[in-house]
Every structure is written in structure tokens, then in C-alpha cells.
Structure 1
Amino acid sequence: MAVLVQEIISADYAFVIHTTNPSTGDSSQIYAEVVKGLGETLVGAYPGRALSFICQKNDLNSPKLLGYPSKPIGLFIRRSIIFRSDSNGEDLEGYAGAGLYDSVPMDEEEKVVLDYTNDPLIIDPNFRNSILCSIAKVGNEIEQLYCSPQDIEGVIKAGKIFVVQTRPQM
């Protein structure tokens, strides 16, 4: 087993993209979820739901909002690094992303009680549409690059998208 040492981007938002809708198996749809702060509240066992949406691959400029977020806690961190297993052996058979090993940040994350009343992702439809379209387009491009459905994790910082991981979608 190897250990991957990776920079943590102090994210405004984090997302997970499935380039085939995992609920329906529809390969013409991208399904994604977005949370405030670091992605651990999305991929970990944190309560509440993420903002979720689908987008048709033939119309990446028209995301359809499925649900608003209700996660009460966001995780935030200053610039730091994280130590993660870099082994496919960490995955449980047939469950991409269901790792057996923890990722460990060098510095402790700050837990923040979230207030969505002033969040532009919630109150500004133009901002929301821009972010969701950008996420869908990134997912579509990565799927085309790898020629297979992908499970993608990334973050948004100051309006820029950073992809931190992609793997074949199971």
C-alpha cells in the first residue's frame, strides 16, 4: 500500500459527480451533489442532505435541481495537506469509494454551523445555475476523457473548479 499526500484546497463548496445517474442507471444523465465546505460532510456519515441535481448530457446548460441542502455542519480548513491510502485495495468489492482506510488531514478542520440564508448557491439563481452547469460540464468532459462512467470528487474555490479524484463508477 502507498500513501498519497495531497494538498487540501480550502473549499467554498465540494461536490461528487456520477456521470451515470446511480438511482436510475440512466447513462444520459449526470447526477451530482454539492455541500458547503469540505467534501467529508458529503462522503462521510454526516447528517442532512446535500444540494442535488441532474443534468442531461445533451443539454449541460439546464441542470434540474432535485433538492436543497439541509446539512447543519460544514467543515472548513486553512491550506493544509491530507494523507490518504493510494490503493485500490482500500475499496470494498463492488463499492467504489467505500474505503476501508481513513483519510487524515494534517490540521484539524473547523466545524461551522451553516446558515443557508445568505448563501449565493441558494439565494442567487444565476450563480447556482453557473456553478451547477460548470460541475456538469466537468463531469461530462472527464467521462469522455476516460471513455467510461466516472465517480468524481472535486471542490470549488473562488469560482474555480478543482478535481481531486476520479475513478470508474461502479
Structure 2
Amino acid sequence: MGLVTEEVRAKAEMYTGDEMCQEKIKVFLKEISMPNGLLPLKDIEEVGYDRESGVVWLKQKQSITHKFEAIDKLVSYGTEVTAVVQTGKIKKLTGVKSKELLIWVTISEIYTEEKEKITFMSPTTLSRTFPVSAFVVPEEVEPAKEEPAKEKSSEATEEPAKGEPAKEAAKEEPAKEAVAVKDA
């Protein structure tokens, strides 16, 4: 790990244990404006981040290969991944390779453009650009999404009762409308 010197380690925030490291990776990616699914590592042993120099390192028990389904790409993450980061950019990346046709290509830089596109560059300056959405993992915030849906459905039933367009209400509940007319 050439980027991670003893001096950098001494100044860095360091975390150990898979659960804590997974959480810190999410926070870290959000902080540098990168998609939250960019580093799908498993069994992480250590995460370190020196904010002053921008040096980041991640250690996992074994190398993994992950397939990003949205773009049909295989990416290999070594046991040690290191980089220098700044907002919207990851430079001097080590430990990450992408499969292109029949060969594995080292990824040395990642940067985002206009928050809609993300570009991966090799040391030979060859690059590929993809939509950022291919690397976003949906966050688990489902209860908040259900409440507005309930409000919308209650609004939809209230509108025909206020005398607004009754065609939709007649299609959905013709018997209730007919009863309301007879009672009136």
C-alpha cells in the first residue's frame, strides 16, 4: 500500500469490523458525491480515511467480483483498495479492475460529470462512461414512501365528494353515488 504510509495512518480516521466499515463506506461515498453502490465490498476488516491528504484505504478478507447488473459489467475488488479522493473524483485508485471483452483492465481514476454520468479511466487513459444510476443502491426508507401514497389515495376519494369531476368516481363507486343522490 504505497499511499498508506505510517504518517497517513497516524492522522487517519480508522474503523474495523464489517458492520462499522460498511456504514462508514456509505457515509464516505456520500461525502465525496459518489454513488452509494460503487464499493460493494464484503467482509471488510478495516477502513481508513485521512481527510487532510484525501488518502482512503479499504481492506477486506478476500478479493471479490461483483456484477453491476444495470450495465452488465464485472468488477473485481482486491483485498486492499486504496485511493486519493476529493469531491466527485477518485484518483490513484489501486485494487479495482473491470472486465472488458476478454481481459481485466485496471481502473485508476473515477469521476462524475454533471451528477448524471460517471467515468472510469485506466492508466492508459482509456475510459468508459456510464449513468450514475447504475451504481446506486436504493436506500431502505420505505415507511416514509408509504405515507404519502396513503394521503394521495384519501385525497382521490375526497375530490369527487366535493363535486369535482364525477366520471372517475362513478366508475369506481357507482352504487355509493346513486345512494347519495337518493338520500339528498
What's the TM-score, normalizing by structure 2?
0.26
Which structure would you say has the larger Rg? 2
With CA pairs under 8 Å and 6+ residues apart, which has the higher RCO, 1 or 2?
Answer: 1
What's the TM-score, normalizing by structure 1?
0.27
- Identify, as 1 or 2, the structure richer in helix: 2
- Identify, as 1 or 2, the structure richer in strand: 1
